[in-house]
Amino acid sequence: MTLSDFALVRPADVESAVAARRDHPQSRYVAGGTDLLVNMRHGIDGAAQLIDLSGIEELTCVKATLAGLRIGAGVKLGALARLPLIAERYRAVGEAATAVAGPGHRALGTVGGNLCLDTRCVYYNQSEWWRQANGYCLKHRGDICHVAPQGQRCHAAFTGDLAPALLALGAEVEIVGAAGRRRCPLAELYVEDGRAHLALAPDELVATVLLPPDPAPSAYGKVRVRGAIDYPLAGVAVALSVADGVAQRLRIALTGTNSRPIVLAGTDALIGRPVDEKALHEIERLVQKQVQPMRTTVASAQYRRLAAAGLARRLVASLAAS
């Protein structure tokens, strides 16, 4: 699986990157390349021109202010996990960054690339000859979904580890495009569609992630086939603060089960109540009801549903206990 030929441009600032993308609609942004280049080798993500974001200083800044923490989209996952402020105040983010792939990937892979990585499916993340032998599929070159053949939607799963941790902590993103800069909650970056899961205009890029200054204590956990290095079959982040045994703030977000990372709805009803067996049971029920795993991985959908619910329960219980 050889890499196809492409031109490489290396803009020095965000505006030049956006202009290069606008002027060459067939081009793609590349950061660490640990997702995109693999897909290009598989023949599922071709581009005549790559716009390398790694030389843009603005994207590599991390800045703590009274308004919160700004993390440039080009910050490497390994470096992010090593920041003392992340370990002290945004633990789920550090745990999620450390849970991504292996050390080599984390040395290259970036925050922006992790938030924007492609959705995955066992029928899609295969070599060209494998997919051809299987008649391709809706997501690329084919006209049928092997997971849900009756439908016209791709159910490939979003499997980024960082997004749920950032969502649980109430992150926002700054997005830059030819039309200017805009800021929105991270949740609005995503759409429940395995073929087009990012709400970005073609020329837009994620420039910065913004975290609030006073987050609740948080944690991240995932289940995967291989403990050493693997995408999440299900990943859960929880942010929970408790006073006198009673929940004050609670947000739960999940990855690996849907075509986008999701924030669990219904947790507000648990605020002001003790984190007891009844509450934990309710959380498990909410997760099981809201996640929509499909047959897109080697593990069954039901296993991923139950694993997500069990992980959420375990993380909430351990945060409440600590």
Ligand X SMILES: Cc1cc2nc3c(=O)[nH]c(=O)nc-3n(C[C@H](O)[C@H](O)[C@H](O)COP(=O)(O)OP(=O)(O)OC[C@H]3O[C@@H](n4cnc5c(N)ncnc54)[C@H](O)[C@@H]3O)c2cc1C
Pick 76 or 140: Cβ nearer ligand SF4: 140
State the binding partner of 11 from ligand X, ligand SF4, none, CB within 5 to 8 A by kind.
none
State the binding partner of 123 from ligand SF4, ligand X, none, CB within 5 to 8 A by kind.
ligand SF4
* CB of 235 closer than 8 Å to CB of 253: no
Cβ at position 115, least distance to ligand X in Å:
7
Cβ at position 43, least distance to ligand SF4 in Å:
14
State the binding partner of 307 from ligand X, ligand SF4, none, CB within 5 to 8 A by kind.
none
**What is the maximum span of the chain, computed from C-alpha positions, in angstroms?**
61
Pick 94 or 194: Cβ nearer ligand SF4: 194
Cβ at position 4, least distance to ligand SF4 in Å:
21
- Residues lying near ligand SF4 in the complex (CB under 6 A) are found at 121, 123-124, 137-139, 145-147, 154-156, 194, 296
> Which one, of 122, 121, 31, lies nearest residue 72 by Cα?
31
Cβ at position 10, least distance to ligand SF4 in Å:
32
> Which one, of 26, 65, 104, lies nearest residue 208 by Cα?
65
* CB of 4 closer than 8 Å to CB of 40: yes
- Residues lying near ligand X in the complex (CB under 6 A) are found at 28-36, 38, 53, 73, 77, 100-101, 105, 108-110, 112-114, 116-118, 159-161, 205-206, 229-231
Strand partners, 183: 174
Pick 279 or 304: Cβ nearer ligand X: 304
Report which residue's Cβ sits closest to ligand X. 113
Pick 88 or 143: Cβ nearer ligand SF4: 143
Cα 233 from Cα 132, distance rounded (Å): 26
State the binding partner of 201 from ligand SF4, ligand X, none, CB within 5 to 8 A by kind.
none
> Which one, of 270, 278, 207, 210, lies nearest residue 239 by Cα?
270
Cα 152 from Cα 292, distance rounded (Å): 16
- DSSP-assigned letters across all residues of 105-134: HHHH-BHHHHHTPPPB-TTTSS-HHHHHHT
Pick 90 or 124: Cβ nearer ligand SF4: 124
Cβ at position 302, least distance to ligand SF4 in Å:
17
Structure tokens at 121: 């499916």
- DSSP-assigned letters across all residues of 241-308: EEETTEEEEEEEEEESSSSS-EEPTTGGGGTTSB-SHHHHHHHHHHHHHH----S-SSS-HHHHHHHH
Pick 154 or 173: Cβ nearer ligand SF4: 154
